[in-house]
Amino acid sequence: MKRPYEVVILSKGDFARTVRIYAPKHANRAVIMHDGQNVFLDSDATYNKSWRAIDVLKSANIKNTAVIGIDSIDATRGDDYLPFPSELDKYGISFGGGKSHIYADYIEQTVLPYLDKRFDFKFYGMLGSSAGALATLDFAARKNAEFKAYGMFSTPLFICPTSYGQFFNSATFDTTANYYVYVGGNECMDGAGEFSALVPQAYVDSTFMLTNMLRKGGVTNIKFMLENTAAHDENYWRAPEKEFFAVFSELS
């Protein structure tokens, strides 16, 4: 099967990831997405459900936006995406965490220079869900001037509640950028055990906390969406994805 996107492997020292690139001829901007194997095709996706990013762009008649998916690796995903070690050990849950600066450095020092050399993108956005939303939040705090929009869907701040409380006391964000925050009211978490009953409300509470902290930091360009019946998968993320792409495509 011929893929409708290009695949490259980019390395920084011993840190290497597969990067999937969909760049229409007239694209002058790009959205970087985490869990790249889940971005384009259901047949590639971890749970056979993808963002179907190309279909979403075409359905919205968006021709100026490229999508760059950076694959995750199961064994290191928590370390890559979480800036802090997980704090759910009392429930027997561990996501690792604490090394997201390495992943963020990789994006800034390897992925972006590669894209800048090959394409004429004027600016970037970033979109992630679940732990990928945490990676997006961590990256947003860097205030990289090349980025104008951040999408954070189903953001589980509850994985590291103490650390995120401290994080928001000191983190600052680009107040000129656009932020799109989304959560479903029926989200769940695989392998959560006795914590499972608390997860749906924890997602909602985390998202309200995220939005409030961004506003407290002076951010005004925030789109917040709560879909009461939505679960935790790409089937529900595609509608807000389309809206995120549409807004991003109109930025100048």
Q: Please report, rounded to a whole number, the percentage of residues in the chain having pLDDT higher than 70.
A: 100
Q: Which strand (E) or helix (H) includes residue 3? A: none
pTM of the model: 0.96
pLDDT in tens, 105-144: 999 999 999 999 999 999 999 999 999 999 999 999 999 9
Burial class (CB in 10 A: 0-12, 13-18, 19+), 69: buried
Q: Which strand (E) or helix (H) includes residue 150? A: strand 147-153
Q: Are 100 and 82 in contact (CB under 8 A)?
A: yes
Give pLDDT, residue 2. Answer: 73
Q: Are 62 and 249 in contact (CB under 8 A)?
A: yes
Check whether 195 has a pLDDT greater than 90. Answer: no
Q: Residues near 130 by Cβ (< 8 Å), separated by ≥ 6?
A: 153, 154, 155, 156, 232
Q: Are 56 and 241 in contact (CB under 8 A)?
A: yes
Q: Where are the beta strands (DSSP E) in 5-146?
A: 6-12, 15-22, 29-33, 65-70, 123-129
Check whether 51 has a pLDDT greater than 70. Answer: yes
Higher per-residue confidence, 2 vs 181: 181
